[in-house]
């Protein structure tokens, strides 16, 4: 193995360089999982989501009224919220089409709505055929896409209350609430699994890379595809 490449006297981190525009490539002990574009899209969705969250929750219930202070009061939060919602939806739409091709459900992933998800959470699932994304991640992907669409459509109605019949508004408040509640629950587990529960995962969205060991554990089929290593040499 050659010496660490440098620019001037500074060492070059080859994995990070590769992660700018390539995915699914091995650099040393690391594998690029999300290239820079993917990470930017993800964090744009994330940022706008949290702006929506903190501007929307004080309007949802006065219990969260203190969150309005981030925006300079409830009136300001009310002005920010719909625009942040538009931005959130647009980034979500970009993310949807960015990842759609990789999120097709395989027949073996059908039961992720039921027992498979529980097995996975007990760390007992058989992950040997899991590719780059497991069934739960795909489920989360489509659920959040649907949620974002529901939030947008109900939110647009709520933005122009004078233009719609009262019962339509009442329904849109309900839909906005239910979509948000489902979204919030999903996000809690998304963040939990991506940070505390599964070490090494968060780096996929920051640095862009994961270790070989991480890939073998969580996404063995993806690891085999990327490395060409069918596991027979492992001892």
d(CA 230, CA 225) in angstroms, rounded, equals: 8
- Binding flag, residue 121, another protein (CB under 8 A): yes
Q: Which of 141, 189, 224, 229 binds another protein (CB under 8 A)?
A: 189
User: Which is nearest to 33 in space by CA: 151, 201, 168?
Assistant: 201
- Binding flag, residue 166, another protein (CB under 8 A): yes
Judge residue 50's burial from the number of C-beta atoms within 10 Å of its C-beta, 0-12 exposed, 13-18 middle, 19 or more buried.
Answer: middle
d(CA 179, CA 156) in angstroms, rounded, equals: 14
Contact region with another protein (CB under 8 A), list: 36-44, 84-92, 100-108, 173-181: 173-181
Q: How far is the CB of 235 from another protein (least distance, A)?
A: 11
11 CB-near residues (< 8 Å, 6+ apart): 4, 5
- Binding flag, residue 63, another protein (CB under 8 A): yes
Contact region with another protein (CB under 8 A), list: 83-91, 110-118, 141-149, 165-173: 165-173
d(CA 185, CA 197) in angstroms, rounded, equals: 16
223 CB-near residues (< 8 Å, 6+ apart): 31, 212, 215, 216, 229
Contact region with another protein (CB under 8 A), list: 35-43, 54-62, 101-109, 138-146: 54-62
Q: Which of 18, 26, 30, 84 binds another protein (CB under 8 A)?
A: 30
d(CA 9, CA 12) in angstroms, rounded, equals: 9
Site residues, another protein (CB under 8 A): 4, 11, 13, 15-16, 29-30, 59-63, 65, 74-75, 77-78, 121-123, 158, 161-162, 166-167, 169-171, 173-174, 177-178, 180-181, 184-185, 188-189, 192, 196-201, 203, 207, 209-214, 216-218
């Amino acid at each position: 193995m050659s010496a660490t490449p440098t620019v001037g006297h500074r060492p070059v981190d080859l994995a990070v360089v590769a992660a700018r525009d390539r995915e699914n490539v091995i650099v040393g002990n690391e594998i690029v999982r999300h290239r820079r574009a993917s990470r930017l899209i993800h964090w744009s969705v994330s940022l706008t989501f949290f702006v929506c969250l903190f501007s929307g929750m004080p309007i949802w219930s006065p219990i969260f009224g203190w969150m309005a202070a981030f925006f300079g009061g409830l009136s300001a939060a009310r002005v920010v919220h719909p625009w942040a919602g538009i931005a959130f939806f647009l980034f979500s739409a970009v993310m949807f089409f960015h990842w759609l091709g990789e999120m097709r459900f395989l027949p073996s992933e059908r039961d992720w709505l039921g027992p498979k998800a529980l097995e996975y959470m007990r760390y007992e699932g058989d992950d040997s055929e899991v590719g780059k994304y497991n069934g739960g991640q795909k489920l989360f992907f489509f659920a959040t896409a649907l949620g974002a669409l529901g939030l947008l459509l109900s939110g647009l109605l709520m933005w122009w209350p004078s233009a719609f019949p009262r019962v339509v508004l009442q329904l849109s408040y309900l839909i906005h609430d239910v979509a948000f509640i489902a979204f919030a629950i999903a996000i809690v587990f998304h963040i939990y699994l991506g940070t505390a529960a599964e070490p090494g995962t968060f780096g996929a969205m920051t640095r862009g890379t994961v270790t070989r060991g991480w890939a073998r554990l969580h996404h063995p089929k993806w690891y085999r595809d990327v490395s060409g290593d069918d596991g027979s040499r492992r001892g």
